[in-house]
Amino acid sequence: MRFFLGSFCLLLLWCSRADARVFRVGRSDDGVEATSLRGAILEANRRGGYNIVMLTGREYALTITGAYEDAARTGDLDITRGTLMILAAGEMATIDATKLGERVFQVHRGARLVLWGICLTGGRAPGGAYGSWAHLDGEPGGRFTTPVSLL
């Protein structure tokens, strides 16, 4: 109950912005329609400004592969414009990138991402971007060029 109340208060505060748009996402499969997580992010990127993606399900699997693409249509979920909040509407929601073979999110310069009640799993930054000196399998920590708020 406490989690739900916190989510509701945060949503009300965020929605008080005149240009905020809320995308309700119930589809757990990966797709480009606005009713899927990837599709809602594509639409939020197109709009810019303040946007909210409210996840009503418990698990969202990312399956559309395609590394090194920066528009969110394939691979990781690129946040390219504006401020985007992704929140779980009820219990915690999981975004699983195991089948992608790359990171979960890439937040571009000038964009901002806020996560509330979200568990990220299976993400792995693509290898080779920083040369062979790194003992890590890929870029250190993925790619966030601007701050990400984890609430």
List the pLDDT tens digit at each of the 151 positions of the chain.
455 545 554 555 555 555 689 999 989 999 999 999 999 999 999 999 999 999 999 999 999 998 778 889 999 999 999 999 999 988 899 999 999 888 899 999 999 999 999 999 888 876 644 444 444 444 544 444 444 555 4
- Alpha carbons 14 and 120: distance in angstroms, whole number: 22
Chain Cα centroid distance, residue 113: 7
Write down the pLDDT at residue 68: 79
- Alpha carbons 32 and 144: distance in angstroms, whole number: 23
Name the residue ranges covered by the structural domains of the chain: 2-127+135-150
Residue whose C-alpha is closest to residue 14's, from 119, 149, 114, 148: 114
Q: Are 105 and 121 in contact (CB under 8 A)?
A: no
Q: Are 127 and 141 in contact (CB under 8 A)?
A: no
CA distances, 135 to each of 103, 128, 131, 140 (Å): 17, 11, 10, 10
Residue whose C-alpha is closest to residue 35's, from 43, 46, 27, 47: 27
Burial (Cβ within 10 Å: 0-12, 13-18, ≥19) of residue 28: middle
For tokens 């890929």, the residue is 138
DSSP annotation of 41 reads H
For tokens 């915690």, the residue is 92
Write down the pLDDT at residue 10: 52
Stated pTM of the model: 0.77
Write down the pLDDT at residue 87: 93
- Alpha carbons 2 and 25: distance in angstroms, whole number: 22
Write down the pLDDT at residue 126: 65
